[in-house]
């Protein structure tokens, strides 16, 4: 064997190693592109929008159910496990989940999803908030201290939420930017089409007045054109008192208002008591996706509420 043969053998080895390395690199990069992002959302509404934008490149789990009061969720240990494995965490923000998100984030100790890191998505960013208080009054029991946090109930805000989620997904998986962008655009187009449909359905009832249990509908009022006159809760988070119920009965009689709206997670007895006194009816609206079995997506949420409000306004004489 001369040195020439050795060299030939060496160069063959080098080529083989290079080919192997090339195969390995392309295999790992394609595997990485197909890796699903693990997304955890606080609410089902965020889950529905995250699925719309993330498509088949995300696995989404949610913490609160759609029929649970989002202000008060028990931070169970099983949620911590979900957050430990998350690539992206999406929260409504403001003070909505103040009692349960900070303890979950602290316990999960996942640096990828801590506030300020690439995987943390505050869905309230750029949302035009309603009812921002001039002074903070939490000591009086008010649980909407930064403005009304139920902003997902205006589909216009659904687009902003989708944009915030899009940005978070792209930060965590930039190679899927075009795919996520296309999904986001399709979601916004469909929302525009449906918003025109909902507005048309509600147009005959524009300005119709009603009473609500909790102050959680101002964004839906904006979207659908009805007016909430007052609330069974004297302040957000404070259960109805006899004097508040008496005040509401007087108001409904005086103003000839016959409809009360309530979320599925509140006790219905005080609303029914008022309804009996004013010859009115109680309408249980979906305040989140999955509030009822047929409300499976963010689009269903508005389809459902538009249908219930139409029924209520058609049967009420005023
Ligand atoms: Zn609230």
User: Residues 155, 286: one domain?
Assistant: no
The confidence score (pLDDT) of residue 137 equals 59
Domain assignment of residue 8, yes or no: no
- CA of 133 relative to ligand 1 center, distance in Å: 14
Domain assignment of residue 20, yes or no: no
Q: Which domain holds residue 295?
A: 202-315
- CA of 46 relative to ligand 1 center, distance in Å: 17
User: Residues 91, 230: one domain?
Assistant: no
The confidence score (pLDDT) of residue 143 equals 74
CATH at 112: 3.40.50.1980
- CA of 150 relative to ligand 1 center, distance in Å: 6
- CA of 148 relative to ligand 1 center, distance in Å: 7
User: Residues 127, 210: one domain?
Assistant: no
Domain assignment of residue 29, yes or no: no
Residue with tokens 């201290």: 145
d(CA 95, CA 273): 31
- CA of 105 relative to ligand 1 center, distance in Å: 22
- CA of 235 relative to ligand 1 center, distance in Å: 10
- CA of 71 relative to ligand 1 center, distance in Å: 7
Q: Reduced to 3 states, what is the DSSP secondary structure of residue 70?
A: coil
- Which tokens go with 243? 């004097």
User: Residues 38, 132: one domain?
Assistant: yes
- CA of 176 relative to ligand 1 center, distance in Å: 35
User: Residues 241, 297: one domain?
Assistant: yes
User: Residues 188, 62: one domain?
Assistant: yes
The confidence score (pLDDT) of residue 133 equals 84
- CA of 73 relative to ligand 1 center, distance in Å: 13
- CA of 313 relative to ligand 1 center, distance in Å: 24
Domain boundary among 197, 222, 246: 197
Domain assignment of residue 12, yes or no: no
* pLDDT tens digits along 92-110: 999 999 999 999 999 999 9
User: Residues 121, 214: one domain?
Assistant: no
User: Residues 51, 186: one domain?
Assistant: yes
- CA of 19 relative to ligand 1 center, distance in Å: 60
- CA of 23 relative to ligand 1 center, distance in Å: 54
The confidence score (pLDDT) of residue 28 equals 46
User: Residues 129, 218: one domain?
Assistant: no
The sign of the torsion formed by the CA atoms of 70, 74, 75, 81 equals negative
Domain assignment of residue 28, yes or no: no
- CA of 233 relative to ligand 1 center, distance in Å: 11
| Integer angstrom CA distances of residue 30 from 23, 26, 60, 254 | 11, 6, 21, 68
- CA of 236 relative to ligand 1 center, distance in Å: 6
Q: Reduced to 3 states, what is the DSSP secondary structure of residue 313?
A: helix
Mean pLDDT by 10 residues, the chain (318 residues): 48 53 48 79 98 98 96 92 97 94 96 97 98 71 84 98 98 98 98 97 97 97 97 93 98 97 97 97 98 98 98 80
User: Domain tally for the chain?
Assistant: 2
- CA of 237 relative to ligand 1 center, distance in Å: 7
The confidence score (pLDDT) of residue 144 equals 85
Angle of the 177-202 helix axis to the 44-54 helix axis, nearest 10? 130
- CA of 109 relative to ligand 1 center, distance in Å: 28
Q: Reduced to 3 states, what is the DSSP secondary structure of residue 116?
A: coil
Domain assignment of residue 192, yes or no: yes
- CA of 191 relative to ligand 1 center, distance in Å: 24
Question: Using an 8 Å Cβ cutoff, are 302 and 198 in contact?
Answer: yes
- CA of 147 relative to ligand 1 center, distance in Å: 10
User: Residues 93, 229: one domain?
Assistant: no
User: Residues 60, 146: one domain?
Assistant: yes
Domain assignment of residue 212, yes or no: yes
The confidence score (pLDDT) of residue 145 equals 86
- CA of 63 relative to ligand 1 center, distance in Å: 17
Cα-Cα-Cα-Cα dihedral of 93, 97, 100, 102, to 10°? Answer: 20
- CA of 9 relative to ligand 1 center, distance in Å: 74
Domain boundary among 197, 222, 245: 197
The confidence score (pLDDT) of residue 13 equals 58
Domain assignment of residue 190, yes or no: yes
- CA of 144 relative to ligand 1 center, distance in Å: 6
Domain boundary among 152, 178, 197: 197
Beta partners for residue 209, in sequence order: 227
User: Residues 44, 159: one domain?
Assistant: yes
């Amino acid at each position: 064997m001369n040195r020439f043969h050795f060299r030939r053998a060496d160069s063959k080895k080098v080529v083989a190693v290079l080919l192997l390395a090339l195969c390995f690199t392309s295999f790992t990069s394609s595997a990485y592109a197909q890796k699903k992002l693990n997304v955890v959302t606080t609410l089902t509404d965020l889950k529905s929008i995250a699925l719309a934008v993330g498509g088949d490149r995300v696995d989404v789990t949610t913490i609160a159910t759609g029929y649970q009061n989002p202000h008060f969720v028990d931070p169970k240990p099983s949620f911590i496990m979900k957050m430990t494995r998350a690539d992206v965490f999406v929260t409504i923000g403001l003070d909505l989940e103040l009692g349960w998100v900070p303890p979950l984030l602290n316990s999960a100790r996942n640096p990828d999803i801590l506030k300020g890191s690439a995987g943390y998505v505050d869905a309230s960013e750029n949302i035009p908030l309603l009812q921002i208080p001039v002074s903070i009054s939490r000591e009086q029991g008010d649980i909407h201290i930064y403005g009304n946090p139920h902003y997902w109930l205006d589909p216009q805000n659904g687009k902003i939420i989708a944009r915030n989620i899009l940005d978070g997904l792209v930060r965590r998986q930039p190679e899927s930017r075009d795919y996520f962008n296309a999904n986001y655009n399709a979601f916004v187009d469909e929302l525009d089409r449906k918003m025109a449909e909902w507005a048309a359905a509600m147009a005959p009832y524009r300005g119709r007045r009603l009473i609500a249990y909790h102050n959680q509908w101002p964004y839906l009022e904006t979207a659908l054109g009805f007016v909430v006159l007052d609330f069974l809760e004297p302040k957000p988070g404070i259960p109805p008192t006899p004097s508040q119920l008496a005040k509401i009965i007087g108001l409904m009689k005086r103003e000839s208002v016959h409809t009360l709206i309530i979320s599925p997670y509140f006790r219905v007895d005080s609303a029914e008591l008022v309804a009996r006194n004013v010859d009115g009816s109680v309408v249980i609206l979906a305040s989140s996706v999955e509030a009822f079995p047929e409300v499976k997506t963010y689009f269903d949420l508005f389809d459902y509420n538009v249908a219930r409000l139409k029924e209520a306004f058609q049967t009420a004489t005023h």
